[in-house]
Structure 1
């Protein structure tokens, strides 16, 4: 690693000479392309280069629609910071500027959520700078194909699970190169929230992932929506046959929602029409998934859990639902749907994993404050706790009336616990718990 006058640094890895910049005590090597792809084709790994690899000015992002719900609950998206790229296979690496040269830092790989439809690896609300500085670790973020480009498919022209193949290529890149950034390639933990957590659960049983990671942290994965999706996915694929390799990407994004399957016909699953698909590479058939997880029990450590009232994120933001349903009925619906989609599946996963010799912890996050806020245990309330970054969250609806001091104090303790798990595969009984957290070894 060498510095130059422009406040940049050069990491020399097998992949090439990669430039990073220094900011707030962190070295950031951003938006490194790990693969490229043509539409509806598997990713091809980028080959090493003799020339300097320079980060692009704008963050590449898969074509997608801006979500009004996320803008209301999380915050506005500054479109000037992003560049639409149909081949969005990029990673970013965040590392402390100063550390012992002989030390190998634990590595956490962030896989973002967004219903397999929206988001990217580099958003201000998931900037890992605070975590990296607090706990002296390396965090890598991944961007991958989404929506119709990454998580539909199901025939020769449009293969399924292309987004999973992207993630596998990214993990191979990290495994082969991270030690040249000061990371421990034998101590890699995957961390994901929402569909990112669901993707991690399925990466555990995907072909081609052996030895690529040692532990996983799964937040708010909608595992209750993973089963019996074949008919819905097939109908969605059939409805979108009008879109092909020659269709304009923005036209696809503007119009694909007219083709989504009927909510009434498929129930809760239709709320997340994109997703991983069993029976297509790199995944097994649905009936084999439980057995595959059982086989992984002694290989991969698991930390899995949820927030206390996940679906309040969706139900309490609906003007129609709040108008026609009394609070008592609405609260009951939130509790029921939270358990169906998130709670019971996480508990079942953890218990089955433990019964087969797995090292697994189960947690639940439930902020407790007597304030006017409908979203204290909602989906995504864990993100500001984990990532911090007050300036990115100051306008979010999900934190309305919650003092940042409360988020910061609990967040620091939570980050320390999650880092302990990533480093050692366990959480000591003596480690300080934040008041918002219930956690136990299963």
Structure 2
């Protein structure tokens, strides 16, 4: 339960898809109730940081579902905020309690949409004759089309849509900004801790990973057709592929399955006049220091965080400004008392989304009382909803800092 005076609708099925095929929109005559499923997945690699999800949802391939949280289903035409979760393109779901939008909707008088999309091999396998890749990205595109068509019925304004996402969700937004099919479906964007160096891989590299996956699948399900084999076998092969890819790439962040490079020529024209905010957490890389390649010889997160987040995001900011976007950058330096992780990857999530019960076993919050978390969260939510409403951050208070980016500004 959100504990706020809002209306939470869903799960709502926004699209359907056959395995390894692009999504198709749900038409008005499809009256079937949503399955409530989330994409089949393995446990998150960041459970030691975030804690395990405490709510349980059925896993299955009828997973293209979303939720809508609104102050009222009326004609108020409120700003809309569409959330794309992180999880390395392999875990997570918009339906999880972590991503409940009740506080944002209530405090900011906005409509919050939280989206499931396909993950892992089901969403991002790229292999000739089997899967084209980027299916999870096309799911997100279809969700935005659903918002454009239906959100007025939930008290939202389809002409005032902000997309916001964290980590893999932020990388997805970076790609959607350059996707011609997404033109006009959103008007503002917030990218939270986007590791831009791994935004997308070449089709040749993705196909090489795809071949490793099919080899491992043949071990777990000899002779089986990937199009019909049980999801459990797909996940087993996915686990093996992740291990092989870690050795192959040497990267602690790059997932085995993720977006494939798309034509990026449209980015500079599509972002003209758009409001964009990006940022990072001061110790983002502390979540990965214990992993091979996570920080080289360093045990401190500052250098790796600068290399993986600060510098690439600054370069993107300059490109966006030159293209005619209005750009702001933020930095969050909140280090919860009693946490060994500091201002780590994901630490902003409980400040924006979810509620006390959802985050009660989260190690990254240390022993910080929830009242303190919520007080800081209220200020940060005001910043986010202010941006969604006006294109400029609302109230900004330490340990959050924010500034407008100008051309050639470092």
Same fold judged by TM-score > 0.5?
yes
Q: CA deviation at 1:85?
A: 1.4
**d(CA) in 2 for partners of 1:178, 1:408:** 28
Matches within 5 A, 1:62-211: 62-67=39-44, 69-78=45-54, 81-97=56-72, 101-211=74-184
**d(CA) in 1 for partners of 2:258, 2:130:** 18
User: Would the aligned equivalents of 1:120 and 1:142 in 2 still touch at CA under 8 Å?
Assistant: yes
Residue 40 of structure 1 aligns with which residue?
20
**d(CA) in 2 for partners of 1:115, 1:276:** 11
1:137-185 superposed Cα distances (whole Å, 9 cap, x missing partner): 1001111110000012142321111111111111111101111111111
Residue 260 of structure 2 aligns with which residue?
277
**d(CA) in 1 for partners of 2:124, 2:114:** 19
Q: Which runs of 5+ in 1 are unaligned?
A: 1-20
Q: CA deviation at 1:95?
A: 0.7
**d(CA) in 2 for partners of 1:200, 1:150:** 16
**d(CA) in 1 for partners of 2:402, 2:71:** 29
The answer to whether the aligner puts 1:373 opposite 2:344 as a matched pair is no
SS in 1 for 2:266: helix
Q: Could you say if the C-alpha distance between residues 335 and 232 of structure 1 is closer, same or farther in structure 2, counting changes exceeding 3 Å?
A: farther
1:99-127 superposed Cα distances (whole Å, 9 cap, x missing partner): xx452111000111100000111111111
The answer to whether the aligner puts 1:358 opposite 2:325 as a matched pair is yes
**d(CA) in 2 for partners of 1:321, 1:267:** 6
Residue 13 of structure 1 aligns with which residue?
none
Which residue, out of 307, 314, 317, partners 2:288?
A: 314
Which residue, out of 218, 240, 251, partners 1:268?
A: 251
**d(CA) in 2 for partners of 1:119, 1:189:** 21
Q: CA deviation at 1:434?
A: 2.1
Residue 222 of structure 2 aligns with which residue?
none
The answer to whether the aligner puts 1:346 opposite 2:313 as a matched pair is yes
**d(CA) in 1 for partners of 2:38, 2:249:** 30
**d(CA) in 1 for partners of 2:38, 2:2:** 23
Residue 3 of structure 1 aligns with which residue?
none
SS in 1 for 2:307: helix
Residue 239 of structure 1 aligns with which residue?
212
User: Would the aligned equivalents of 1:225 and 1:341 in 2 still touch at CA under 8 Å?
Assistant: no
**d(CA) in 2 for partners of 1:146, 1:227:** 15
Residue 329 of structure 1 aligns with which residue?
298
SS in 2 for 1:149: helix
**d(CA) in 2 for partners of 1:103, 1:413:** 24
Q: CA deviation at 1:270?
A: 6.4
Say which one has the larger Rg: 1
Which residue, out of 421, 428, 434, partners 2:387?
A: 421
Residue 8 of structure 1 aligns with which residue?
none
User: Would the aligned equivalents of 2:251 and 2:293 in 1 still touch at CA under 8 Å?
Assistant: no
Q: CA deviation at 1:405?
A: 3.0
TM-score between both structures, scaled by the size of structure 1: 0.83
1:207-228 superposed Cα distances (whole Å, 9 cap, x missing partner): 3111111011110111122365
**d(CA) in 1 for partners of 2:204, 2:128:** 14
Residue 253 of structure 1 aligns with which residue?
235
Q: CA deviation at 1:90?
A: 0.9
User: Would the aligned equivalents of 2:85 and 2:166 in 1 still touch at CA under 8 Å?
Assistant: yes
Residue 396 of structure 1 aligns with which residue?
362
Q: CA deviation at 1:374?
A: 2.0
**d(CA) in 1 for partners of 2:322, 2:131:** 38
1:226-252 superposed Cα distances (whole Å, 9 cap, x missing partner): 365444322211112254112111111
Q: Could you say if the C-alpha distance between residues 197 and 50 of structure 1 is closer, same or farther in structure 2, counting changes exceeding 3 Å?
A: closer
SS in 1 for 2:126: coil
TM-score between both structures, scaled by the size of structure 2: 0.89
**d(CA) in 2 for partners of 1:157, 1:321:** 32
Residue 9 of structure 1 aligns with which residue?
none
Q: How many residue pairs were aligned? A: 395
**d(CA) in 1 for partners of 2:43, 2:75:** 44
Q: Which runs of 5+ in 2 are unaligned?
A: 218-225, 406-410
